[in-house]
């Protein structure tokens, strides 16, 4: 009976200790004017260090006021150089070459969200909100100056889910520009990069505890 109890105890101790999902957020709250009609735009960088495990999801929260939303183009690049388009002139289609005329947004773009930010106003006026809501990134990796039909017809598959199962550590680059002259200048009031990871299992720690217990029980049994 004692031997069976010892084996059972060791079996429980050497099981991997899987960590729970962790969210790490990086914020830049410096108010910066996005130059009107200027492709130079605004760039922000986030230096991520000491995150263990692989990425399960990425979110980008944008606080923008003023301007003309249909002029905005933004992207995020991870430390491995993978590139995701966050905004690509929202509302631009084959029949609407200018996009949506709303001024600003306070939204979160989420790798697990379903509704694409490019189409936020579809469904009629008053059926959407750009305050505190969550959307999928645009994902259209195409020249933002392309014809409306070409831009809108491009695949949206390259969204924030592209970053899943990659290493979070290193420099992340966020870029945003206003590509249409007129409509006024927008202000970037803040950007929050949130990275969700699951740490690697710490099996060796549990094994060490099991060996220590084995030594203790062996002395008692003998």
* Domain residue extents for the chain: 1-18+201-222, 19-200
pTM of the predicted protein model: 0.81
171-186 pLDDT, tens digit per residue, is 999 999 999 998 899 9
pLDDT the model gives residue 207: 44
What residues of the chain score a pLDDT lower than 70?
Answer: 1-19, 123-127, 200-222
Residue 173 to residue 171: CA distance in whole angstroms: 7
Residue 104 to residue 64: CA distance in whole angstroms: 5
What are the angstrom distances between the C-alpha of 33 and each of 45, 199, 218? 16, 38, 70
Residue 199 to residue 142: CA distance in whole angstroms: 35
pLDDT the model gives residue 206: 43
Residues 6 or more apart whose CB falls under 8 angstroms from that of 78 comprise 163, 166, 168, 170, 172
193 phi and psi angles, rounded to 5 deg: -100, 120
pLDDT the model gives residue 19: 55
Alpha helices per DSSP H over the chain: 2-13, 148-153, 203-221
DSSP 118: G
pLDDT the model gives residue 82: 97
Burial 96-108 (b: 16+ CB within 10 A, else e): eeebbebebbbbe
What CATH superfamily is the domain 19-200? Galactose-binding domain-like (2.60.120.260)
CB 19 within 8 A of CB 54: no
Taken in order 168, 189, 137, 194, the sign of the CA dihedral is: positive
3-state secondary structure of 205: helix
pLDDT the model gives residue 151: 96
pLDDT the model gives residue 183: 87
């Amino acid at each position: 009976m004692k031997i069976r109890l010892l084996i059972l105890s060791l079996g429980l101790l050497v099981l991997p200790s899987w960590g729970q999902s962790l969210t790490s957020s990086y914020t830049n709250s410096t108010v910066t004017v996005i130059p009107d009609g200027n492709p130079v735009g605004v760039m922000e960088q986030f230096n991520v260090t000491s995150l263990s495990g692989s990425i399960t999801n990425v979110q980008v929260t944008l606080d923008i006021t003023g301007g003309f939303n249909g002029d905005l183009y933004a992207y995020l690049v991870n430390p491995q150089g993978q590139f995701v388009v966050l905004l690509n002139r929202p509302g631009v289609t084959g029949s609407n070459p200018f996009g949506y005329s709303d001024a600003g947004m306070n939204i979160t773009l989420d790798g697990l969200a379903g509704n694409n930010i490019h189409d936020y106003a579809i469904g009629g006026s008053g059926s959407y909100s750009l305050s505190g809501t969550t959307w999928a990134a645009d994902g259209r990796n195409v020249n933002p100056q392309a014809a409306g039909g070409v831009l809108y017809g491009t695949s949206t598959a390259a969204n924030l889910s592209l970053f899943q199962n990659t290493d979070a550590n290193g420099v992340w680059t966020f870029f945003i520009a206003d590509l249409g002259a007129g409509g006024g200048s927008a202000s970037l009031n803040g950007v929050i990069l949130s990275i969700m990871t699951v740490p690697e299992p710490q099996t060796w720690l549990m094994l060490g505890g099991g060996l220590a217990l084995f030594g203790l029980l062996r002395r008692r049994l003998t």
